[in-house]
Amino acid sequence: MMQFMLLFSRQGKLRLQKWYVAHPDKLKKKITRELITTILARKPKMCSFLEWRDLKIVYKRYASLYFCCAIEQDDNELLTLEVIHRYVELLDKYFGSVCELDIIFNFEKAYFILDELLLGGEIQETSKKNVLKAIAAQDLLQEEETPQGFFEDHGLG
C-alpha cells in the first residue's frame, strides 16, 4: 500500500501532498523536508529507489517536478514507477501538456485526478479513459450549479 505521495519542484517547493496514513502535521512536515533534501541531493543518474526507515521510496523527475511515493516492503517498486507515470499521463491529458504552473494554479484539480486513480493508497482504476471520464463528469456537475458569468466571481476563481 502506498503510504504517501509528494510532488515537489527542483527548488524544493512542495506542490502536492497526499497522505494515506495518519501522521501529526509536525511529523508530515519533518518527513517531507527530509525526503525533499535527500532526493534533491541525489545525482540524476542514480536509481529511483531509496530505503528510508522501513519504507521504500520511489521517485521520478518529470521536467521540473519530482514525483515521490513511499511504499511498503512487499510492494513492487517498478510498478510504482508505472503508477507515477500513469498519473503524469492523466495530468497531461487533462491539462493538455501539463507544466508545473498548471499544478500550482489548479492544485485542487491535481488532487481530484489523483483521487480517481488511487484510493486509500491502492490503484482503483487502470483505465485512463475511465478516470478522465469521471473527472469530466464532476467538472460538469460543478459548472451546472454555477450560473453563467457567476463562476468567475463565485467559484474558486
Partner 1 sequence: MNASEHGFNPAFNMATIKQAINEAVERVRMPTPMRLRDLIRQIRAARTAAEERSVVNKECAYIRSTFREEDSVWRCRNIAKLLYIHMLGYPAHFGQLECLKLIASPRFTDKRIGYLGAMLLLDERQDVHLLITNCLKNDLNSTTQFVVGLALCTLGAIASPEMARDLAAEVERLMKSPNAYIRKKAGLCAFRIIRRVPDLMEIFLPATRSMLSEKNHGVLITGVTLITEMCENSPDTLNHFKKIVPNLVRILKNLILAGYSPEHDVSGVSDPFLQVKILKLLRVLGKNDVDASEAMNDILAQVATNTETSKNVGNSILYETVLSIMDIKSESGLRVLAINILGRFLLNNDKNIRYVALNTLLKTVHIDTSAVQRHRSTILECLKDPDVSIRRRAMELSFALVNSQNIRTMMKELLTFLEKSEQEFKAPCSSSIVLAAERYAPNKRWHLDTLLKVLVAAGNYLRDDVISSTIQLISETTSQQAYITLQLWQALAEDKMDKQPLIQVAVWAIGEYGDLILSATVDDVNDIVKPAEGDVIEVYQRLLWSPQNSPATKQFALMSLTKLSTRFIHTNNRIQQIVSSFCSSLHIELQQRGVEFSQLFGKYNNLRGALLERMPPMEVVRGGNDIQTNGDMDESEDKTNENSPQHVNTESNVLLDLLGGSDSSDLDVIKPSSIPNQPISNSNNQDLLDLLGGLDLSAPVSTTDTGMGLIMENNNGSIPLDNSDTSNFLMGDILNTNLINEKNVPTLTAFDKNGLKIVFSLEKMSESNMVSIHLTATNSTISNMTDFLFQAAVPKAFQLQMLSPSGTIITPNGQVTQTLRVTNPNKGVLRMRIRLSYTIDGALIQEQTEVNNFPTHIWD
| For partner 1, the closer CB: 97 or 141 | 141
Residues that bind partner 1 (CB under 8 A): 1, 14-20, 22-25, 29, 42-43, 45-51, 74, 76-79, 81-83, 86, 104-105, 107-108, 111-112, 115, 119-130, 134, 137-138, 141-142, 145-146, 153-157
All three cell numbers of 38, joined, read 535527500
CB burial readout 126-152, b (16+ within 10 A) else e: eeeeebeebbeeeeeeeeeeeeeeeee
In the complex, what is the shortest distance from the CB of residue 94 to partner 1, in angstroms, rounded to a whole number? 15
In the complex, what is the shortest distance from the CB of residue 97 to partner 1, in angstroms, rounded to a whole number? 20
Q: In whole angstroms, what is the distance from residue 44 CA to residue 62 CA?
A: 12
| For partner 1, the closer CB: 63 or 111 | 111
> DSSP letters of 98-117?
--HHHHHHTHHHHHHHHHHH
Backbone angles phi, psi at 73, to 5 degrees: -55, -40
In the complex, what is the shortest distance from the CB of residue 67 to partner 1, in angstroms, rounded to a whole number? 14
In the complex, what is the shortest distance from the CB of residue 120 to partner 1, in angstroms, rounded to a whole number? 3
| For partner 1, the closer CB: 22 or 53 | 22
User: Alpha helix (H) ranges present in the chain?
Assistant: 25-41, 77-95, 100-105, 107-117, 128-144, 151-154
In the complex, what is the shortest distance from the CB of residue 133 to partner 1, in angstroms, rounded to a whole number? 9
Q: Is 95 exposed, middle or buried (0-12, 13-18, 19+ CB in 10 A)?
A: middle
